[in-house]
Amino acid sequence: MSPVDPDDGPVPEQDDRQPGAAPLGGYLRVQVDGDPTPVPVAVEGREGDSLLVRRLEPNEDPPWVAHDPSVREVILVTPVRYVGINLTAEVGRTDDLITAMRVIEVRREGSVVYGRTLSPTEPDPGTAVLLKPGDSFCLEPGMMTVSIAAIDAAESKGVEGYVPVTGVLWSWMSIAPPAHEHGYRYLLATARRLDAARTLLDQVRDLLDQEPPSVGPALRSHLWRTVSTVEVTVVAFGRALDMSVQMKHLIGVASAPDPEMLSLNRRITPSRNAYEHIEDRALGWVNRKPDPEAVTVFDWTALFERQAMQYGGQEISLSELMTATDTLRAFVLQAAGDLSEGVEPLP
């Protein structure tokens, strides 16, 4: 490997600390053995009089590196920050990735670098495991642990607001499946409805916050879109909530939703039933029998005046549903963990 090779790119005119001095660095390239084309690199660290460099990431701009006369050797290292858990053993595939776990160095023994995964609550030091030419990376038994909290943290990284939970559950249960397949199907079905409800709820809030069109046909289209989105939101959320309430009985989850969620389930169930069986309500029926409350599902006054949905004498605000989706998301994660209790760390 060649020593530091400043590129011919733009350079500072002089060092401000030493008026009149020559430029103090450049854009580094190194020549890898067997490859005649120099490779642009970035500095990863220093070890004695050796400069550790790495290949640039895709779309990464080459950094300016100050000249250091004490550098005697340039070593191209491979930084390892994550290890992946995949569905297949095919090298080079990316569509089979389940999740990636952050790893740090524990110790070095000769050319073997031993590491471990970080826990979800452990501060990330930001450093990578650096593999020099000829090094190998090893995770000893028990040094790679996977948790649903770690998978959730990875999927939530850099995302603002609600993070869909279905993918988190699928990833976790691909690694630590429940004892019974019906638990797997039940949890994913609950999660899909919850994610759909939150997506629709966000759309409803956006529609209500918008200035409605002033022209009649466009205005009515906007209003009907808002109403129809509320209807399917209540169906999706109400079903996700009711499935969560029944998890302990039906699939053996140890946890149960908190009392507020149990109360909300009782309050929202009549509205959910009304929207699911809108054909009955249109005929003035409840359970195929005439009922004066049936047609109250078509009163949207509360929706446009107070951002709430109402049926009969019950009114539930959209803000309450927003908060409830976050609460229910946390519960579904806990439920998935309950069904996978006793799973040993990966070897």
Q: pLDDT tens digits, residue range 201-212?
A: 999 999 999 999
Bigger pLDDT: 101 vs 343 = 101
| Whole-number pLDDT of residue 121 | 85
| Whole-number pLDDT of residue 347 | 40
Q: pLDDT tens digits, residue range 79-89?
A: 999 999 999 99
Q: Which long-range contacts (CB under 8 A, 24 or more apart) does 310-313 make?
A: 310/271, 311/270, 311/271, 311/274, 312/270
User: Over 60: is that where the pLDDT of 138 sits?
Assistant: yes
User: Over 70: is that where the pLDDT of 226 sits?
Assistant: yes
User: Over 80: is that where the pLDDT of 47 sits?
Assistant: yes
76: Cα within 13 Å, side-chain hemisphere: 16
Instruction: Kindly report which listed range (41-50, 134-143, 321-330) carries the lowest average pLDDT score.
Output: 41-50
Break the chain into its structural domains and give their ranges: 5-76, 80-145, 151-339
Which residues have a Cβ under 8 Å from the Cβ of 87 and sit 6 or more positions away? 96, 97, 98, 174
| Average pLDDT, integer, range 316-341 | 94
Indicate yes or no: pTM above 0.85: no
Share of the chain above pLDDT 70, in %: 91
Q: Band of the pLDDT at 4, cuts 50, 70, 90?
A: very low
Q: pLDDT tens digits, residue range 284-306?
A: 999 999 999 999 999 999 999 99
Helices marked H in the chain — which ranges?
148-156, 166-175, 181-209, 216-245, 247-251, 259-276, 278-282, 301-306, 318-339
Average pLDDT, the chain: 89
- Dist. CA 70–CA 49, nearest whole Å: 6
Strand partners, 129: 80
| Average pLDDT, integer, range 25-40 | 76
| Whole-number pLDDT of residue 341 | 61
